[in-house]
Structure 1
Amino acid sequence: MSTVEAPAKSRAQIKERTLRKDNWRLYPVTTFVIFTAWVVYATVRAFWGSAFYVPEFHYLTPFYSPCFNEICNDVTVNGHTGSAAEFGTFLPESTRGWIPFAAISLPFLLLFRLTCYYYRKAYYRSFWASPSACAVKEPHGKYTGERRFPLIGQNLHRYFWLAAVLISLVNTYDAILAFHGKDGGFGIGLGTLILVANVVLLWLYTLSCHSCRHIVGGRLKNFSKHPFRYRMWGWVSKINERHGMYALITLGSLVAADLYVALVASETISDLRIFN
């Protein structure tokens, strides 16, 4: 008569950290380097307090939009003076250097990215090693999930997404203003194209968000009764497949847009004009 063994009371104990033979460390290490470099650059620029606006062509870096410091009211570059404060100011000039000019938008944008599904995967693996890769032993003794502080805040992602949509609208407005010529009329420069490209990529990242996909087509029992929402859900689902790619590309586009505006605003280079 055969006997049935009782199920094991614990998981199989494997001494090796992993049995994988591929270079699984490449992703977390690369991500760690890229994220760290970006955070350092963005932090320095956010608190720099200068070289953020080109009044002649209405180029405003996305790191300072919307601009709320009193300095934004009177910016002079290359003999041209203008205002970057399209929505008013409430920060006195004395706060320069310790409060970002874009004091309202930056915290929400940071929280939107920190709680993003893609970024969770990226920094969980790169900074917390939780775990570093699939099928790799986790160094932490326990994992409580996103049920306790501070990770419970990840559940607020859908609300930060709404804030990101509003800020993307502001960035779109900034890009439209960048179609400004030397004589005050319509014009296009390299800075215009860079700011527009950045906005398009930001919209792709924002609209490909998992929360957006749920808001557009979630909680529907019958798609045939909601054809418009179904079409929108299908479109969002397609770009959602590349959400992680847009998340990384927009880091680069933000730096490119900010760096170009900074170079022109500091009179290091001149804007390459395409029309007027």
Structure 2
Amino acid sequence: MATETASNAPAGRAAVGARHLRTDRWWLAPAATALALLAFVGYASWRAFSEADYYAAPYVSPFYSPCLAEACEPMRDGPNWALVGEWWPFSPALVILVFPLGFRMTCYYYRKAYYRSFWASPPACGVAEPHRSYSGERRFPLILNNAHRYFFYASAVIACVLTYDTVLGFRDDEYAWGHMGVGTLLFLVNIVLVWAYTLSCHSCRHAMGGRLRNFSRHPVRYRLWTWVSRLTSRHMALAWASLISLGLCDLYVYLLATDVISDPRLF
């Protein structure tokens, strides 16, 4: 709890005399969040710009799927539609990563995570912000967070593509069905977490039950809204779990493609 004795506080903001009265390690959570996000951003940037080792039959890295550039490695029966020609000067991953990245960057949980960890707005409960003014999300670039619902629709489409990739993982390296390797299991866990995170989004919850004045007249939407609401309560955990699983899937494909490991067959 902070005192309210300061007389030089900006207009419209709480008067906080002391920086804070907390004696616990309140800085640990935002610092850990910042380090974890920076680690993932660094790894994902390296993989996205490497433009190599993102396919090891029958697995394709979720960072590159669907692969829409002519420069994509051959992916037999995979989602390689070559919609972007030789004029595209960047990595094939950058064609599609903008959508899941935009979805996560505008997500309510990730807003809280990077607001507190990188912008100290605020860094923790009961700790004053270092900023003298606050404009909310009414100005550029934060006003772009209002596009979250549209990124949700795009991410749902990408989740469908990743589901297709997961099904293709039940083939062996010669594309014969009836195979299940460690990679198959890893991709199965990943797609479950990706869908759980996507469906636990507040935009999805609003799509299920928003703008309804009477739930009794819409029993199906009410059941869907109730189910999604249960997922939404775990949105933070699902955000981190799905982020880790995406990174692990990409790392696994990279290790297979570079012949560091082989894919142990379960049956």
TM-score, normalized by the shorter chain, greater than 0.5: yes
Bigger shift: residues 65-74 or 246-255: 65-74
What is the deviation of 1:73? 4.7
In structure 2, distance between residues paired with 1:68 and 1:10: 50
Please give the root-mean-square deviation of Cα atoms over the aligned residues, in Å: 1.9
The residue that corresponds to 2:240 in the other structure is 248
Q: 2:264 aligns with which of 238, 249, 272?
A: 272
The residue that corresponds to 1:101 in the other structure is 92
1:89-168 pair list within 5 angstroms? 89-92=82-85, 99-168=90-159
Show structure 2 runs of 5+ residues with no match.
1-10
Q: Deviations over 1:150-206 (max 9, x none)?
A: 111111111110111000000001001111035512211000111111110000000
What is the deviation of 1:10? 7.1
1:49-128 pair list within 5 angstroms? 49-55=51-57, 58-74=58-74, 82-83=75-76, 86-92=79-85, 99-128=90-119
TM-score normalised over the length of structure 1: 0.87
In structure 1, distance between residues paired with 2:112 and 2:201: 14
The higher radius of gyration belongs to 1
Question: Do residues 260 (structure 1) and 262 (structure 2) align?
Answer: no
After superposition, the Cα gap between the structure-2 partners of 1:70 and 1:52, relative to the gap in structure 1 and judged at 3 Å, is: same
Show structure 1 runs of 5+ residues with no match.
1-8, 75-81
In structure 1, distance between residues paired with 2:180 and 2:260: 20
In structure 1, distance between residues paired with 2:110 and 2:140: 18
In structure 2, distance between residues paired with 1:223 and 1:175: 36
TM-score normalised over the length of structure 2: 0.90
Q: Deviations over 1:89-139 (max 9, x none)?
A: 1445685xx623133320011111110000000000000011101111110
In structure 1, distance between residues paired with 2:157 and 2:264: 30
Aligned length: 256
Q: Identity across aligned pairs (percent)?
A: 51
After superposition, the Cα gap between the structure-2 partners of 1:84 and 1:106, relative to the gap in structure 1 and judged at 3 Å, is: farther
What is the deviation of 1:65? 0.4
